């Protein structure tokens, strides 16, 4: 008997730490740049907060997992479900204010609603001309809405020609506050409540009239994740029924009668009464730009890494392509010419999207981490431009140079390597340096494949720190300048040296 | 020995070489003369494989190029190791020093070590009178000096034959004379024993150095024989003087 207990104790001793280490994550796709009250930062260098952050933590706890937000651009979140669960950007669920949409429901499984929203009209507090939805048409009000949103569809149908779409919720509120591009904005009511209560916009906005077009936020997940789906549904229902979700939503000021109705719909009963005062979270943001600089510097490091890792690959591929195009047989020249034209003729953004989202669907083995795709995508794109630079360089070298090398008995490869390429390099230094500087700035496109480089970080910080927008913009621009200016200087020195050398300077 | 037999070459419809044949023995200096467009330079370039031809055969020692066949890479490289060439525009490599230019053949074509190549290069630069210009870049030399470097470069791969394609046409008379003196000197070198073919409009120089003259007109060799006979008054090439 004693021996059996000893064995059990031993097993627990061995097993417990292993279990703790293996505790699975609930990886949820989200876009923090969308802002509050969904996911945002009170402290610029602190963790994320928001009702979806706390909701995800609640779900993870219920599932016996830990909550792990995985950042990506909002519109691409569902596509992460097509990728493997493992890896840096692997996710289990999409949880970020996604509505019930037919196109998504066809491809993915979805949970029961976790929040019932309505479209809310918001105007400036001092704008007495807007007292309800009925005023929008006659007043020809400019209506700021989020692109590709339910609000966009709703307003576009009812107020054609008055809709001003934008990618960013905060921009819309700013436009209304500053009386610039929009007179009113129509948003999901959680965002409206958040911005109206934000101390930064004190007495700027008013909620106008009742909400319209009720809808629901759902969690999307893979169709074959039946067990997870069932567990999430159960957790949502339990959370509504036992008041957990009420507490979370109250904390952010977004609990309302619609949620009580949702609870009744899903569980057959209303949530318990809870009149306890819950302290509502405000939005702090940074008071000065200094605490944000380390984040920008880290992101600038990623920008430098992307540029430095991809450009040598682009140069190498460019030399091979250019040589093939100038000296290769027709069956080499034609495909290379097609490659160059296709790559130069299509946007880098699309190429990265293709490499990251589309190609791995056909060939799962190509589902690499975003950082590798970013480097590869930039290298492929710039290889086409470099190839054209080098081709021009090679063709600028008199034909007699190649003939002289061949007449000495060099193989064509040796002749190109030792005679043509070194001379061509001198010719192409200025355009190649320009391309490298351009590449630094083009790394910003990598944000589309979920890489947090300088521009994406700027966007993120800008959303959370609207009053520091000018400082952030200057610092970001300054960082780009700091990265590219030394290159310009190096390029000029190289040009001078090479020019002097070709003209006959001594070694 | 170089033997080109019945070489025919088309450019589009034009028959730029129309059965031209020449033969140059070891130690012999042959000159190709004739009016511009007669096919002299083209024939020269066919001999070392810089241009393809459509009929006929080029034989250099045991190496053969046939108009009807695509030569193997090995044959072409061997042939070019065996036959050096000096161009009208010198074609020195501007990014290399004079010494490196001359070393380029031994190093990159023959696979010699840098030390070996440097010794050879210095020997030939000394021979053409440019020992003190090792470290200069081609852009720092006069045309005549550049052509002399080009000659040293061609000789550095130890060829059995050298082809000179109008080596003095781009030079003023003084520099041309300087270059011709070097060629003259090589032609007189009994130890060197290379076959030399020179295409030139400098008839006085040709008369001085050539053992045999080929007169090319419209892609055909219309005369071959001793220089003295070719340029004798009333001779077949006398009109060129």
pLDDT by position in tens, chain A (length 507)? 445 555 445 444 444 444 444 568 999 999 887 778 999 887 777 888 999 999 999 999 999 999 999 988 888 888 889 888 877 788 999 999 998 888 888 899 999 999 999 999 999 999 888 889 988 888 788 999 887 788 888 898 899 889 888 877 877 888 888 887 889 999 999 999 888 888 878 788 999 888 888 889 999 999 999 999 999 999 999 999 888 999 999 888 898 888 888 888 888 887 776 655 445 454 555 567 888 888 899 999 999 999 999 999 999 999 999 999 998 999 999 999 999 999 999 999 999 989 988 888 788 888 788 899 999 999 999 999 999 999 999 999 999 999 999 999 999 999 999 999 889 888 888 889 889 989 988 998 988 887 888 988 888 787 667 678 888 999 999 999 998 888 888 878 877 777 655 544 332
Could you say which residues from 72 to 111 on chain B have a Cβ atom under 8 Å away from some Cβ of chain A?
73, 77-78, 80-81, 84-85, 87, 89, 91-95, 97, 104-105, 108-110
- Amino acid A284: pLDDT: 52
Find the farthest-apart pair of alpha carbons in chain B and give their distance in angstroms, rounded.
54
Domain encompassing residue B107: 24-40+72-240
Interface contact B91-A400, CB threshold 8 A: yes
Encode pLDDT of B53-103 as tens digits: 999 999 998 889 998 788 888 999 999 989 999 999 999 999 999 999 999
Interface test with A, best of B137, B156, B197 (most A CBs within 10 A): B137
Task: State the Cα–Cα distance between residues B124 and B186, nearest whole angstrom.
Answer: 11
Residue B1 lies in a domain: no
Q: Are B33 and B240 in contact (CB under 8 A)?
A: yes
Q: Are strands B212-217 and A220-221 parallel, antiparallel or unpaired?
A: unpaired
Strand ordering across the sheet containing B29-33: B83-86, B161-165, B195-199, B29-33, B212-217, B220-226
Interface contact B95-A401, CB threshold 8 A: no
Encode pLDDT of B176-235 as tens digits: 888 988 888 888 888 888 899 999 888 888 888 899 999 999 999 999 999 888 888 887
Could you say which residues from 133 to 172 on chain B have a Cβ atom under 8 Å away from some Cβ of chain A?
135-140, 150, 153-154, 157
Mean pLDDT for B140-152 is: 94
Task: State the Cα–Cα distance between residues A483 and A54, nearest whole angstrom.
Answer: 39
Across the interface, of A401, A407, A414, the residue whose CB is closest to B48 is A407
Across the interface, of A398, A403, A502, the residue whose CB is closest to B95 is A502
Across the interface, of B78, B137, B150, the residue whose CB is closest to A505 is B137
Interface contact A405-B138, CB threshold 8 A: no
Smallest CA–CA distance from B150 into chain A, residue: A404
Q: How many residues does chain A have?
A: 507
The larger pLDDT score, comparing residue B150 to residue A284, is at B150
Q: Are B57 and B233 in contact (CB under 8 A)?
A: no
How many C-beta neighbours within 10 Å does residue A87 have? 14
Q: Are B73 and B43 in contact (CB under 8 A)?
A: no
- Amino acid A20: pLDDT: 42
Residue B4 lies in a domain: no
Q: What is the CATH number of the domain that holds B120?
A: 3.40.50.300
Task: State the Cα–Cα distance between residues A434 and A64, nearest whole angstrom.
Answer: 53
Residue A188, strand partner residues: A119
Residue B158 lies in a domain: yes
Burial (CB count within 10 angstroms: exposed 0-12, middle 13-18, buried 19+), residue A275 = exposed
Residue B63 lies in a domain: no
Work out how many domains chain B is built from and give that number.
1
**Helix boundaries (H) for A64-149:** 102-107
ipTM over the 0.85 cut-off? yes
Could you say which residues from 194 to 233 on chain B have a Cβ atom under 8 Å away from some Cβ of chain A?
none
CA B234 to each of CA A322, A387, B224, B241: distance values in angstroms, whole numbers, following the listed order: 56, 59, 15, 11
Encode pLDDT of B45-55 as tens digits: 999 999 999 99
The string of DSSP letters for B167-213 reads TTTTS-HHHHHHHHHHHHHHHH-TTT--EEEEE-S-HHHHHHH-SEE
**Listed residue (A427, A435, A415, A349) closest to A390, CA to CA:** A427
Residue B126 lies in a domain: yes
- Amino acid A19: pLDDT: 41
Helix A293-327, helix A454-464: angle, nearest 10: 150
Q: What residues of chain A have any CB closer than 8 angstroms to a CB in chain B? A: 398, 400-401, 403-411, 414-415, 418-419, 422-423, 426, 501-507
**Listed residue (A485, A392, A475, A479) closest to A436, CA to CA:** A485
Residue B187 lies in a domain: yes
Task: State the Cα–Cα distance between residues B78 and A306, nearest whole angstrom.
Answer: 47
Q: Which domains, and CATH codes, for chain A?
A: 26-111+218-267 (3.40.190.10), 115-217 (3.40.190.10), 290-503 (1.10.3720.10)
- Amino acid B239: pLDDT: 75
Burial (CB count within 10 angstroms: exposed 0-12, middle 13-18, buried 19+), residue B71 = middle
Could you say which residues from 54 to 73 on chain B have a Cβ atom under 8 Å away from some Cβ of chain A?
73
First CA to last CA distance, chain A = 88
Residue B140 lies in a domain: yes
User: Quick check: helix, strand or coil at residue B25?
Assistant: coil
**Listed residue (A204, A193, A191) closest to A253, CA to CA:** A193
Encode pLDDT of B93-139 as tens digits: 999 999 999 999 999 999 999 999 999 999 999 999 999 999 999 99
Residue B131 lies in a domain: yes
Q: Are B165 and B41 in contact (CB under 8 A)?
A: yes
Burial (CB count within 10 angstroms: exposed 0-12, middle 13-18, buried 19+), residue A68 = middle
C-alpha distance from B220 to closest chain A C-alpha (Å): 25
Across the interface, of B73, B105, B138, the residue whose CB is closest to A408 is B105
| Cα dihedral sign, A293-A294-A299-A304 | positive
Task: State the Cα–Cα distance between residues A218 and A259, nearest whole angstrom.
Answer: 14
- Amino acid A209: pLDDT: 86
- Amino acid B100: pLDDT: 96
């Amino acid at each position: 008997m004693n021996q059996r207990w000893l064995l059990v104790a031993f097993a627990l001793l061995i097993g417990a730490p292993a279990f703790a280490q293996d505790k699975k994550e609930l990886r949820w796709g989200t876009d923090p740049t969308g802002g509050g009250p969904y996911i945002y930062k009170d402290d610029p260098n602190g963790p994320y907060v928001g009702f979806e952050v706390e909701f995800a933590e609640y779900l993870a706890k219920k599932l016996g997992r830990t909550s792990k937000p995985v950042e990506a651009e909002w519109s691409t979140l569902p596509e992460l479900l097509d990728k493997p669960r493992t890896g840096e950007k692997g996710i289990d669920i999409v949880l970020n204010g996604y509505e019930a949409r037919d196109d998504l429901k066809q491809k993915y499984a979805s949970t029961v609603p976790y929040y019932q929203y309505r479209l809310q009209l918001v105007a400036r507090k001092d704008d007495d001309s807007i007292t309800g939805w009925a005023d929008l048409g006659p007043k020809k009000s400019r209506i700021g809405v989020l692109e590709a949103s339910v609000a966009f569809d709703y307003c576009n149908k009812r107020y054609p020609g008055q809709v001003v779409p934008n990618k960013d919720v905060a921009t819309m509120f700013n436009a209304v506050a500053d009386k610039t591009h929009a007179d009113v904005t129509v948003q999901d009511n959680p965002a409206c409540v958040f911005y109206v209560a934000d101390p930064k916009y004190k007495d700027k906005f008013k909620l106008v009239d009742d909400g319209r077009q009720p809808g629901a936020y759902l969690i999307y997940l893979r169709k074959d994740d039946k067990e997870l789906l069932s567990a999430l549904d159960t957790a949502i229902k339990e959370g509504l029924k036992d008041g957990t979700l009420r507490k979370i939503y109250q904390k952010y000021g977004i609990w309302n009668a619609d949620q009580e109705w949702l609870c009744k719909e899903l569980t057959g009963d209303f949530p318990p009464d809870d009149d306890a005062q819950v302290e509502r979270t405000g939005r702090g943001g940074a008071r000065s730009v200094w605490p944000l600089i380390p984040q920008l510097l880290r992101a600038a490091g990623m920008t430098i890494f992307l540029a430095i890792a991809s450009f040598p690959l682009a140069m190498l591929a460019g030399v091979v392509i250019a040589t093939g195009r100038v000296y290769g047989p027709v069956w080499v020249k034609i495909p290379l010419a097609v490659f160059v034209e296709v790559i130069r003729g299509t946007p880098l953004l699309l190429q990265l999207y293709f490499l990251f989202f589309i190609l791995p669907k056909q060939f799962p083995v190509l589902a690499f981490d975003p950082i590798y795709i970013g480097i590869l995508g930039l290298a492929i794109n710039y290889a086409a431009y470099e190839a054209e630079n080098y081709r021009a360089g090679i063709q600028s070298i008199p034909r007699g140079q190649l003939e002289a090398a061949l007449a000495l008995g060099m193989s064509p490869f040796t002749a190109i390597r030792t005679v043509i390429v070194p001379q061509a390099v001198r010719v192409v230094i200025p355009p190649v340096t320009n391309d490298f500087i351009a590449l630094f700035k083009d790394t910003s496109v990598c944000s589309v494949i979920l890489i947090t480089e300088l521009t994406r970080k700027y966007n993120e910080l800008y959303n959370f720190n609207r009053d520091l927008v000018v400082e952030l913009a200057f610092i970001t621009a300054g960082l780009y300048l700091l990265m590219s200016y030394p290159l310009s200087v190096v390029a000029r020195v190289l040009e001078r040296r090479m020019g002097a050398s070709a003209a006959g300077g001594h070694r | 020995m170089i033997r080109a037999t019945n070489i025919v070459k088309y450019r589009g419809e034009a028959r730029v070489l129309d059965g031209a044949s020449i033969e140059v023995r070891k130690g012999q200096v042959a000159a190709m003369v004739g009016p511009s467009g007669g096919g002299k330079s083209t024939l020269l370039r066919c001999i070392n494989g810089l241009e393809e031809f459509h009929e006929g055969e080029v034989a250099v020692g045991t190496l053969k190029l046939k108009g009807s066949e695509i030569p193997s890479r090995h044959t072409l490289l061997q042939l070019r190791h065996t036959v050096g060439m000096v161009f009208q525009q010198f074609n020195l490599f501007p990014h290399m020093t004079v010494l490196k230019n001359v070393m380029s053949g031994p190093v990159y074509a023959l696979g010699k070590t840098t030390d070996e190549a440097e010794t050879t290069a210095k020997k030939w630069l000394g021979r053409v009178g440019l020992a003190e210009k090792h470290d200069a870049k081609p852009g720092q030399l006069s045309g005549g000096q550049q052509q002399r470097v080009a000659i040293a470069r061609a000789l550095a791969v130890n060829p059995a034959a050298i082809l000179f394609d109008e080596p003095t046409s781009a030079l003023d008379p003084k520099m041309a004379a300087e270059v011709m003196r070097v060629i003259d000197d090589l032609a007189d070198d009994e130890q060197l024993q290379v076959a030399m073919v020179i295409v030139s409009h400098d008839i006085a120089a040709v008369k001085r150095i050539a053992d045999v003259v080929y007169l090319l007109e419209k892609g055909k060799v219309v005369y071959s024989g001793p220089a003295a006979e070719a340029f004798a008054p009333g001779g077949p090439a006398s009109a060129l003087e």
